[in-house]
């Protein structure tokens, strides 16, 4: 439920921001946020994975060592934001905000992972809800008084600061606060580094590519389109992905891996109707945010085809972490990173923004050959095929009727197809909703 709150709230926030600021300001904001996310990802050398894997075994020493390392690395990495001060004329004034966002981004992610490990799921919800409400209040309020770019950046700072303070205090109250040894730091670095290539690949996909669009095009419109499409796709993909993250500490403590086996089937089935809707009504969705973004509707539709592969990789990584197969995790991450870089170099000069989209999809699809033993490939293929069929039908029928209505109808049809094929049962889907609401009761 907290994932839904954060991502749905984040999407709604961008919808409101897109309506209140002009396209140039939107380009500045998305570039600054992407840069801070990129630097936070670079500084977080897989430390949240180290918390997930080692805290159930080593207790608070793993959590504290990860937090200290994250803080030090974030401060150092944030200085590199100075290299981007001239990406746009007048952009240098926002560098201090980016530095603060970078540091808060790292430590907030680590402390929030501590809530997952300690099974404080209610506090995950409440901390994210409080942080989201704070972001809305500060961001929208400052925009209305004329602080457009600064207002949004301050709202992100307030979000991350609130999330860190609440999650850190609750995590420490449950896990404890023990000074780590040098061995604890070394083990944290070892576990984190093994997951770093995978995390780095995801960070490059979501943020460095946005920065690359900004640098190469110097166009706020292109930057805004690409970033907004990624926000929407990431929102959908995060729902089953967070289930795999929650499943990891449960598996470690119970010595069972079965808890993660159904994530792809049930979680993937739950989001397919949403994916079909987004893929078919991409023009309406982008237009709702900002009319200047409508031209990018094919980009959003194409990016939706990366969601199921992304979920499959996330589930397989959780299984590999359970088995301590760190070498395979490293191979998967490096493969994604290599494909992304090579594809971008070759395709961007030829196809521009579409080249970046194709690179994104390839970096998610090709590595699937490495995880065949870890994930139900047949199930993933079924879900992917259902998505492709109904999005294609929606595109064909949108020539004769509004895309919004067609996409709603196709979304319902995709859900009925999943139920008729008995991929999931109505009881299982209802169970997901009950579990979500149970976390806040």
Least Cα distance to 135 among 41, 29, 38, 249 occurs for 29
- Determine the pLDDT at residue 193: 79
- CA atoms of 436 and 55, how far apart (whole Å): 24
What pLDDT digit, counting tens, does each position of 135-152 carry?
A: 999 999 999 998 989 999
Give 138 or 329, the one with higher predicted confidence: 138
- CA atoms of 437 and 428, how far apart (whole Å): 14
State yes or no: pLDDT of 178 exceeds 60.
yes
State yes or no: pLDDT of 166 exceeds 70.
yes
- Determine the pLDDT at residue 248: 44
- Span 82-105, average pLDDT: 91
Residue 310: pLDDT band (50, 70, 90) is confident
State yes or no: pLDDT of 76 exceeds 70.
yes
Neighbours of 254 (CB within 10 A): 11
Taking the CA atoms of 194, 197, 202 and 203 in sequence, report the sign of the dihedral they define. Answer: positive
- CA atoms of 220 and 139, how far apart (whole Å): 20
State yes or no: pLDDT of 99 exceeds 90.
yes
- Determine the pLDDT at residue 107: 92
For the chain, the first-to-last Cα distance in angstroms comes to 11
The answer to whether 308 and 241 have CB atoms below 8 angstroms apart is no
What is the DSSP secondary-structure string of 215-280?
HHH--HHHHHHHHHHHHHHHHHHHHHHHHHHHHHHHHHHHT--GGGTTIIIIIHHHHHHHHHHHHH
If you average pLDDT over every residue of the chain, what do you get? Answer: 83
- Determine the pLDDT at residue 55: 79
Cα atoms in the 13 Å half-sphere on the side-chain side of 106: 29
State yes or no: pLDDT of 78 exceeds 60.
yes
What tokens were used for 159?
A: 């979000």
Residue 414: pLDDT band (50, 70, 90) is very high
- Determine the pLDDT at residue 134: 93
Cα torsion at 425, 433, 168, 17 (round to 10°)?
A: 110
The answer to whether 81 and 35 have CB atoms below 8 angstroms apart is yes
What tokens were used for 174?
A: 């449950």
Highest mean pLDDT among 119-123, 197-201, 344-348, 378-382: 378-382
- CA atoms of 13 and 315, how far apart (whole Å): 29
Least Cα distance to 197 among 105, 320, 61, 95 occurs for 320
State yes or no: pLDDT of 287 exceeds 80.
yes
What pLDDT digit, counting tens, does each position of 236-259 carry?
A: 887 776 655 554 455 445 555 555
- CA atoms of 258 and 239, how far apart (whole Å): 19
What pLDDT digit, counting tens, does each position of 354-385 carry?
A: 888 998 899 899 989 888 877 888 888 999 99
- Span 278-285, average pLDDT: 91
Residue entry with tokens 């919800």 = 125
Least Cα distance to 232 among 194, 283, 188, 185 occurs for 283
Give 92's DSSP letter. Answer: G
- Determine the pLDDT at residue 205: 65
What is the percent of the chain where pLDDT is above 90?
29
- Determine the pLDDT at residue 200: 66
Neighbours of 402 (CB within 10 A): 13
The answer to whether 278 and 232 have CB atoms below 8 angstroms apart is yes
The helix (H) or strand (E) run that includes residue 421 is none
């Amino acid at each position: 439920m907290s994932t839904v709150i954060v991502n749905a709230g984040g999407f709604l926030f961008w919808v409101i921001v897109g309506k209140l600021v002009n396209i140039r300001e939107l380009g500045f904001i998305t570039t600054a946020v992407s840069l801070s996310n990129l630097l936070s990802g670079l500084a977080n050398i897989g430390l949240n994975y180290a918390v997930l894997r080692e805290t159930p075994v080593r207790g608070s020493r793993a959590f504290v060592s990860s937090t200290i390392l994250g803080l030090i690395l974030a401060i150092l990495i944030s200085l590199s934001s100075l290299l981007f001060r001239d990406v746009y004329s007048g952009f240098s004034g926002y560098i201090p905000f980016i530095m603060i966002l970078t540091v808060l981004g790292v430590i907030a992610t680590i402390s929030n992972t501590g809530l997952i490990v300690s099974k404080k799921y209610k506090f995950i919800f409440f901390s994210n809800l409080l942080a989201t409400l704070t972001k809305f209040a500060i961001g929208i309020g400052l925009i209305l008084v004329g602080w457009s770019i600064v207002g949004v950046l301050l709202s992100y700072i307030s979000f991350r600061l609130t999330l860190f303070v609440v999650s850190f205090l609750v995590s420490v109250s449950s896990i404890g606060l023990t000074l780590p040894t040098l061995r604890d730091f070394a083990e944290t670095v070892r576990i984190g580094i093994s997951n770093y290539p995978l995390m780095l690949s995801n960070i490059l996909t979501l943020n460095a590519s946005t920065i690359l669009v900004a640098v190469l095009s110097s166009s706020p419109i292109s930057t805004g389109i690409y970033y907004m499409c990624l926000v929407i796709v990431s929102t959908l993909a995060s729902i089953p992905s967070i289930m795999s993250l929650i499943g990891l500490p449960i598996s470690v403590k119970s010595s069972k891996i079965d808890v993660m086996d159904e994530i792809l089937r049930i979680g993937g089935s739950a989001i397919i109707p949403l994916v079909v809707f987004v893929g078919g009504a991409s023009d309406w969705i982008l237009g709702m945010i900002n009319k200047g973004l409508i031209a990018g509707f094919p980009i959003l539709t194409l990016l939706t085809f990366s969601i199921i592969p992304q979920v499959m990789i996330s589930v397989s990584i959780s299984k590999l972490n359970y088995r301590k197969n760190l070498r395979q995790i490293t191979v998967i991450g490096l493969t994604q990173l290599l494909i992304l870089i090579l594809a971008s170099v070759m395709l961007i000069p030829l196809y521009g923004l579409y080249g970046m989209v194709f690179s994104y999809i390839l970096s998610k699809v090709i590595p699937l050959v490495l995880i065949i033993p870890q994930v139900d490939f047949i199930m993933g293929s079924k879900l992917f095929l259902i998505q492709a069929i109904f999005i294609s039908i929606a595109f064909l029928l949108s020539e004769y009727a509004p895309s919004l209505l067609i996409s709603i109808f196709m979304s319902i049809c995709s859900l009925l197809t999943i139920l008729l094929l008995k991929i999931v049962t109505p009881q299982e889907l209802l169970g997901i909703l009950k579990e979500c609401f149970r976390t806040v009761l």
